[in-house]
Amino acid sequence: MSTLHQIALTYLKNIGPTLAKSMISYFGSAERVFTVPPGKIMGVPGIGPKTYGQLNLSEALRKAEEEMKFIEKNNIDVLFYTDPRYPKRLKICNDSPVLLFSKGNADLNAQRIISVVGTRNASEYGKQLCQQLVEELQPYNVLIVSGLAYGIDVCAHKECVKQNVPTVGVLAHGLDRLYPSQNKAIAEKMIANGGLLTEYPSGTNPDRENFPQRNRIVAGIADATVVVEASIKGGALITAEIANSYNRDVFTFPGRVGDEFSEGCNFLIRHNKAGLLTNPADLANCLGWEKSEDAANSDHQLTLPIDLSTEEMLIFELIRQHKLPLAIDDLTIKANIPMSQLAMTLLNMEMQGYIRSLPGKTYLVN
C-alpha cells in the first residue's frame, strides 16, 4: 500500500479513524480511496451527502506529498494500522488512530508495556514514587509510556533514561516541534532508547483538544496505566477513564486526605476504578510478572510441596501448568470442584504461601 495515500487519508475533512478504517475495508486499500470514481465513496457506510460534499481528495494528496518530504528528511517511521509493527494493544481499541508517526527505536509491541500518568504539579512525594516505580519495573524488561508533559510525565521519562529503561513519549502535536520546549533535551535522549509517537502530522499545533485525544493512545498502548499523583480535574483522570473503557488495568497510589493532587487518586480507589498500590513493588506482583532472570530459572528452582492434600496438589498442578494467571471460573471446571469448596481451598493454599491471588480472582504459583 502506498504510504502517500495512507497519510493523505488522515488529511480528509470529517473523516476520523473509524470512517477511515471503513473506507479501507470497503475499497481494500488507501490508494483505492483516491482512485475510484468519486461517486463510489457514497457507498461507504457512514458517508452521507454532507461528508461526501466536503471531501478534499486533491488537497489531502498535496498535503501528504509535503509530509512525505518531512518524513524522509527527519527519518520518521509511518505505522499504518495494518502494519504488523503498529501497536497491537492499541489496534484493538475501536477509536485507535489509523496512522502513527514514530521516531526512535521503541518496540511498540514489547511483551510488557506500562503507562505512567499524573499531575503537571508533581510534589516531592509524587516524584519519589515515580522514581521508585521505574526502579522496581527495571528488571522486568518493560517499556514505559507517558505524555512528555510537565510533572509526573517527564519525571517518569527522566528516570527511565537514567535507569536505561525504554520509554516512549506520546505527543499532542507533530514531530516538527516539542511542547513544552523545556523537555527537548530529555526527548533527544529518549530517541536513543525508546522514542516519540504521535498521530499528528508536522505543522500540528499543541491545541487544547489534542491532549484528551493523545491520552487514548497512552491508555490503549499499554497493559496497565498507573496514576501516580492527580487532581480530580485533569488529563491523568481522563486517561484512567479511557483505560477503564478499554478494559485495561488501572492502578494508583493513595495520598493524604485533603491533598489536592492526591484527590484524583483517592477518587479512583473509592469508586473501584483503580487498584490500590501501597508500594511500587506491588505493581509487578499484581500483574503476575516474573523478573526475566526468575522466569529463566523458575523451572529449575521449582520444588513440589509435600504437605498438600490430594485435592490441593491437583489445584497446585493446574495453576502451575497454566503458567499465566488462572481464573477461579476456569479452575473450578478444570478441577471439577464446586466453587464454594474451591474458594476455601485456594484461601488455605494462599495462607500457606503456595499460591497468590491477583486482580480478577486469578491465581499464580508462588
pLDDT (0 to 100) of residue 38: 75
Domain count, the chain: 3
For residue 180, whether the previous peptide bond is cis, meaning omega lies within 30 degrees of 0, is yes
User: Average pLDDT over the chain, rounded to whole?
Assistant: 91
Indicate the pLDDT class of residue 229, thresholds 50, 70 and 90: very high
Residue 253 has pLDDT above 70, yes or no: yes
| Position with higher pLDDT, 261 vs 31 | 31
Question: For residues 255 and 236, what is the distance between their CA atoms, to the nearest angstrom?
Answer: 15
User: What mean pLDDT is predicted for residues 7-21?
Assistant: 93
151 in any annotated domain: yes
Residue 113 has pLDDT above 50, yes or no: yes
Residue 220 has pLDDT above 60, yes or no: yes
| Residues 166 and 134 sit within 8 Å (Cβ to Cβ) | no
pLDDT (0 to 100) of residue 138: 94
| Residues 167 and 146 sit within 8 Å (Cβ to Cβ) | yes
User: Mind listing the pLDDT tens digit for each residue in 19-68?
Assistant: 999 999 999 999 999 999 878 898 898 898 888 888 999 999 999 999 99
- The answer to whether residues 276 and 306 belong to one domain is no
User: Mind listing the pLDDT tens digit for each residue in 269-321?
Assistant: 999 999 999 988 889 988 888 775 554 454 445 556 667 888 999 999 899 88
User: Mind listing the pLDDT tens digit for each residue in 353-363?
Assistant: 888 888 778 88
pLDDT (0 to 100) of residue 288: 85
- Cell numbers describing residue 103: 521516531
- The answer to whether residues 310 and 265 belong to one domain is no
- The answer to whether residues 223 and 121 belong to one domain is yes
Cα–Cα distances in Å, from 98 out to 19, 236, 300, 325? 10, 24, 45, 32
pLDDT (0 to 100) of residue 258: 83
pLDDT (0 to 100) of residue 115: 98
Question: For residues 247 and 223, what is the distance between their CA atoms, to the nearest angstrom?
Answer: 10
- The answer to whether residues 142 and 264 belong to one domain is yes
Residue 1: which domain range? 1-73
The DSSP annotation for 54-114 comes to: T--HHHHHHHHHHHHHHHHHTT-EEEETTSTTS-HHHHTSTT--SEEEEEE---TT-S-EE
**Sheet containing 362-365: which strands, arranged edge to edge?**
326-327, 362-365, 355-358
- The answer to whether residues 155 and 202 belong to one domain is yes
Residue 350 has pLDDT above 80, yes or no: yes
88 in any annotated domain: no
- The answer to whether residues 274 and 348 belong to one domain is no
87 in any annotated domain: no
| Strand partners for 276 | 252
Question: For residues 217 and 234, what is the distance between their CA atoms, to the nearest angstrom?
Answer: 16
- The answer to whether residues 260 and 130 belong to one domain is yes
pLDDT (0 to 100) of residue 299: 46
- The answer to whether residues 209 and 308 belong to one domain is no
- The answer to whether residues 318 and 197 belong to one domain is no
- The answer to whether residues 266 and 182 belong to one domain is yes
| Residues 149 and 235 sit within 8 Å (Cβ to Cβ) | yes
User: What mean pLDDT is predicted for residues 219-247?
Assistant: 94
pLDDT (0 to 100) of residue 353: 83
- The answer to whether residues 44 and 137 belong to one domain is no
Indicate the pLDDT class of residue 5, thresholds 50, 70 and 90: very high
154 in any annotated domain: yes
In the listed set 17, 47, 73, which residue is the last one of a domain according to the structure? 73
| Residue environment code for 2-19, b if the CB has 16+ CB neighbours within 10 A, otherwise e | eebbbbbbbbbeebebeb
Number of C-beta neighbours around residue 81 at 10 A = 18
